[in-house]
Each structure stands twice: as C-alpha cells, then as structure tokens.
C-alpha cells in the first residue's frame, strides 16, 4: 500500500510539472515518474526550500530559477565511446550499410554535450566515410548544445575515453584527435566540419530532416511508455527505408508502435533496420 | 499486481550471497524482486545466467520499462541505475551516487515512493555504505528492512551501516532470509 507521504509527493510532483508547462510551456509531464521525482527532490535540496510546493512558488515567480530547474530536470551525463562493444558493432555492421549511400545524413538525438557525436565523427573518419556524411546533434537544452559546439571535454576523462576508443576498435592514437590545455581536451575543429549542433525538443518539435542513421541512446529511458511511443513515431518517420536506428544497451522496441517495422541488425547492441 | 516488492542491495561478496538467497525462494514466490549489485561498468550479462542456475524464479537483467511481475527477479544492468515505478522498472544513466551505478539508495528510494508499506528491503554483504540512506526512506514510508547478519557477511560494512543507524527490522543469517521474505510477502 502506498503511504500518505508518497501519495502527497506524487501530487506535488504532478502539480509542479503542470505549473512549469502552464507558465513557461516546458513540458515534462511525459517524463517517467521515478526519475523526474528524484531530480525534483534534488532541486528542493539545491534551492534550499522546504519542499516541492515552495520550489513551485519560486519557479513561478522567478524566471531566473527556471534556468536552474531546466538544467536539473534534464540529464546530461554522457561519455565518448560509451559502451565500446556498441561502437564496435557500428563499425562492423552499420558502416557497410552507410557505404552503399553516396550521401549519408545522421541524427544524434539527445546528444547532450556532444561526446557521442565526436565519437561517431572519429569512427566515420577512420572508415573514410566522414566526407560524405552530414551529422545533426540535437538536444533539448541550449546550454549543453553550446558545450557540444565548443567540443572541449575534461582532460581527466581522456584516460577512460582512450580505453573505450581502443576497445571500440579505434585505429589511431586517440590523442591525435584533441589538444590538451588547462584541464580541457579541445577536439579538432575539423571533426565538426560536417556537424550541425542545434536545440531540438523531441517531445514537442517535428522531424528535422530525413536520415540514414539515427542515434537515440539512453534518451527515452526518461520518458513514460506513452511519450516513448510518440517519440518512436517521430524517429520512425525521420528514417529512410532501410535506415538504421540505434538505441541504448537496455532499451527495447517491445511495446512501441513500430516494433514490427524494424528488423534487428544486432539485437544485443540494439541496432535496428527499418524494413516496413 | 503484487502489493509487495523485494529490493535487494549488495556489493562485495554479492554473487555468493544472492545465489543462496534466490536458491531459497520457491517457484511460487508471490512478489517481484529487484536487485542492485555493484559491479564494474563493463561487466557482461553473465551474472543473470549464474544466478539463474540456482534459482527457481526467472532472473533477467532489466530493460527499460520492463513491466513488474510477481515471481520474477530483475537485476540492475551494469552502469545504469534501476528505479521502481508503480507498474514498470525504469533505468537511468544519471551520475553515480556515492560512486555507485547502479546505486542501492536510488533503487530503495524509488521503491519506497512507488510501493510504500509494501517494500521489503534486503541489505546483504557489501563494502560500502550505499543502501543505508535508501533503507531510511523505506522505513519512513512504512516498509521493512532486513539485514544479513554482519558477523557472517563476507563484508560487514554495508549491513553494519544499516544496523548502526537502527534501521533494521530483522538481522538474520543469510539462510534464514528466504523464509522471512515468504512470510512477509504472503501476508
């Protein structure tokens, strides 16, 4: 049985999200409850307020608080070559598909600060495909899109990223892709010659183009099943026939509206080809 | 829909402890079981297979939005937090909590908010204090906390953290925990 405190908390979470939407138009109402609740409770701590109602009152009155709220409600955790085996399979099984196209358009949806975009750019460069690719990296948050454009990542992370890169089948000395200065690793500007970074909201915006390959990894895990279904429809309609959809390692197409219009390329790594 | 859910947290020594725990549960165990076991982020899926060998209940690594069903065992995948919703499990790649992803605190806290008094939290052997905060939330929301006897645990730190905060409803040897779980879950 749900205790009263949890019940009340759920009501406050709902009211908070509703008020964000009514006042500012930001729609987090389709976010999965357990994780959005967590992030709202963390905001309550960060803002040093007594509870969700006071947080709500503050964000309604103070647009300056909105920036902080938006930043806390979305997840920006990412890494270069996260899940090396996944990138290995992209190299082995997706690259041959891309080779059959004279021009390749790629969308990294929910790219956060861009680590995955740079990873993919490096991989495509090594496979001699980068020149015929145009990549879109989009995220709901304008501030992380700016970070992605800058392409500067913490130098301290490079040890992990280098090991990921090698395990992902990297062919070069990873350090040739960045220059170190201060505490940052600045990635080579040519890696984004064929990249467009832009703000885009998967929940409310339409398709930005038609793509041969879409990465949307560990983005929809923050959505409810209903919202996932809507976003899946957007992704499906943004893919060319025989285009490839890449999901996170623990995301599935089960119970999504286009489940039967995809075929697994590598079911373990959650790579799917649009066949319907 | 079961009114109970068992949530289990463990780290060092967890494989042995989980094997014994699951081996003691019958095929008709009436509640779902969600487990956060600390492991390296690139661990493969062999943990589920190893546990399955000794378990009458089906053991799976959870996918995002897996429906929660009684009598099934869900493992947090490496490098993801596992969260309990009212009807389904969610995953998250949010930053590690106390250096852990999956975090036991995150699992327990989410279960408390979704199952309230129906939560049975189990803390087994482990080498960090992850789980103690989550156990406090479970208690506050009316759930129960069972702790493996620190004297027999391979690593006593995790059980002791809960016992010392006076959060344990029962401190039991590992082999007695399956029976305790059945008694509570069948009520």
* Average pLDDT of the segment spanning A35-57: 97
Mean pLDDT, residues A18-23 taken together: 96
Q: Which residue of chain B comes nearest to A75, CA vs CA?
A: B94
Q: Ramachandran region of residue B172, left (φ > 0), alpha (ψ -120 to 50) or beta?
A: beta
CA distance B35 to chain A (A): 16
User: Which residues in B lie closer than 8 A to residue A84 (C-beta atoms)?
Assistant: 42
Query: What's the whole-model pTM score?
Result: 0.94
Nearest CA-CA distance, residue A102 and chain B, Å = 35
Residue of A252, A241, A244, A264 lying closest to A94 (CA atoms): A244
Give the tens place of pLDDT for each residue, B133-181.
999 999 999 999 999 999 999 999 999 999 999 999 999 999 999 999 9
Q: Choose, out of B40, B64, B117, the residue to mutate when testing the contact with A (most A CBs < 10 Å).
A: B64
Contact residues, chain A, for B85 at CB < 8 Å? 32-34
DSSP B76: P
Query: Which pLDDT score is estimated for B41?
Result: 78
Q: Say how many C-beta atoms besides its own lie within 10 A of residue B125's C-beta.
A: 25
Q: Which of A265-269, B98-102, B146-150, B162-166 has the least mean pLDDT?
A: A265-269
Interface subset of B 21-40, CB within 8 angstroms of A: none
Report chain A's mean pLDDT, rounded to a whole number. 95
What is the tens place of the pLDDT at every residue in A112-168?
A: 999 999 999 999 999 999 999 999 999 998 889 999 999 999 999 999 999 999 999
User: ipTM of this predicted complex?
Assistant: 0.92
| Separation in Å, CA A178 to CA A126, A154, A188, B126, B154 | 15, 11, 5, 40, 45
Examine the pLDDT at A6 and tell me if it is beyond 90: yes
What pLDDT band is residue B127 in, cutting at 50, 70 and 90? very high
Select from B49, B43, B44, B42 the least CA-distant residue to B18. Answer: B49
Tokens 């960060």 belong to A46
| Catalytically annotated residues of B | 11, 38, 130
Domains of chain A in start order, with CATH, are: 5-73 (no CATH), 84-274 (3.40.50.150)
Q: B72 or A78: whose pLDDT is higher?
A: B72
What is the pLDDT, as a whole number, of residue A2? Answer: 84
- Confidence (pLDDT) at A184: 96
* Per-domain boundaries in chain B: 5-185
- In chain A, residues with a C-beta closer than 8 Å to the C-beta of B65 are 32, 221, 225, 228, 252, 255
Which residues of chain A lie closer than 8 angstroms to B88, CB-CB? 225
Mutation site, B41, B46, B65, interface A, largest A CB count within 10 A: B65
Q: Does domain B5-185 have CATH number 3.40.50.180?
A: yes
Residues constituting chain B: 187
Q: Which residues of A sit within 8 Å Cβ distance of B?
A: 1-3, 5-6, 9-10, 32-35, 37-39, 75, 77-78, 84, 218, 220-222, 225, 228, 248-252, 254-255
Long-range contacts of A66-71 (CB under 8 A, 24+ apart): A66/A24, A66/A26, A68/A43, A69/A20, A69/A43, A70/A26, A70/A141, A71/A141, A71/A143
Specify the pLDDT at position A245: 98
pLDDT band, very low/low/confident/very high, at B40 (cuts 50, 70, 90): confident
Angle CA(A199)–CA(A200)–CA(A205) in degrees, nearest 5? 150
* Cβ contact B55:B73 at 8 Å: yes
pLDDT band at residue B59 under the 50/70/90 scheme: very high
List the single range of A76-80, A236-240, B28-32, B36-40 with lowest mean pLDDT.
Answer: A76-80
B83 - beta bridge partners? B90
Measure the CA–CA gap between B135 and B42, rounded to whole angstroms. Answer: 27
* CB proximity B87 to A under 8 Å: no
Contact A250 B110 (CB under 8 A): no
Predicted pLDDT at A255: 85
From chain A, the residues in CB contact with B140 under 8 A are 5
């Amino acid at each position: 049985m749900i205790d009263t405190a949890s019940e009340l908390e759920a009501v406050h979470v709902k009211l908070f999200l509703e008020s964000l939407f009514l006042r500012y138009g930001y729609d987090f109402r389709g976010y999965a409850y357990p994780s959005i609740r967590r992030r709202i409770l963390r905001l309550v701590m960060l803002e040093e307020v007594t509870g969700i109602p006071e947080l709500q009152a503050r964000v309604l009155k103070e647009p300056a608080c909105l920036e902080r709220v938006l930043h806390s409600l979305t997840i920006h955790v990412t890494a270069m070559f996260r899940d090396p085996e996944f990138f290995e399979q992209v190299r082995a099984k997706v690259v041959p598909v891309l080779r059959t196209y004279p021009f390749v358009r790629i969308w990294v949806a929910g790219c956060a600060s861009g680590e995955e975009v740079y990873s993919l750019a490096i991989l495509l460069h090594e496979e001699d495909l980068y020149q015929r690719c145009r990549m879109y990296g989009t995220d709901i948050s304008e501030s992380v899109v700016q970070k992605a454009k800058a392409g500067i990542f913490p130098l301290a992370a490079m040890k992990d990223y280098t090991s990921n890169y090698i395990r992902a089948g990297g062919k070069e000395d990873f350090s040739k892709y960045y220059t170190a200065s201060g505490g940052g690793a600045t990635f080579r500007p040519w890696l984004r010659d064929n990249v467009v970074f832009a703000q885009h909201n998967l929940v409310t915006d339409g398709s930005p183009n038609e793509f041969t390959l879409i990465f949307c990894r560990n983005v929809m895990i923050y959505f409810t099943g209903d919202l996932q279904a809507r976003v899946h429809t957007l992704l499906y309609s943004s893919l060319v026939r025989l285009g490839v959809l890449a999901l996170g390692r623990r995301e599935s197409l089960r119970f999504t509206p286009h489940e039967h219009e995809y075929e697994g390329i590598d079911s373990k790594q959650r790579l799917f080809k649009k066949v319907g | 829909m079961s009114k109970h859910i068992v949530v289990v947290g463990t780290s060092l020594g967890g494989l042995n402890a989980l094997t014994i725990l699951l081996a003691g549960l019958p095929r008709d165990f009436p509640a779902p079981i969600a487990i956060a076991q600390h492991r390296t982020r690139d661990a493969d899926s062999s943990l589920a297979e190893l546990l399955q060998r000794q378990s009458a209940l089906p053991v799976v690594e959870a996918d995002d939005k897996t429906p929660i069903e009684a009598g099934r065992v869900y493992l947090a995948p490496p490098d993801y937090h596992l969260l309990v919703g009212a009807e389904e499990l969610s995953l998250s790649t949010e930053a590690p909590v106390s250096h852990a992803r999956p975090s036991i605190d995150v699992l327990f806290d989410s279960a408390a908010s979704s199952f309230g008094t129906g939560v049975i939290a189990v803390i087994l052997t482990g080498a960090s204090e992850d789980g103690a905060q989550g156990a406090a939330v479970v208690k506050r929301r009316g759930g129960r906390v069972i702790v493996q006897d620190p004297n027999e645990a391979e690593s006593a730190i995790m059980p002791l953290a809960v016992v010392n905060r006076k959060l344990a409803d029962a401190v039991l040897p590992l082999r007695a925990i399956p029976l305790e779980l059945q008694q509570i879950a069948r009520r």
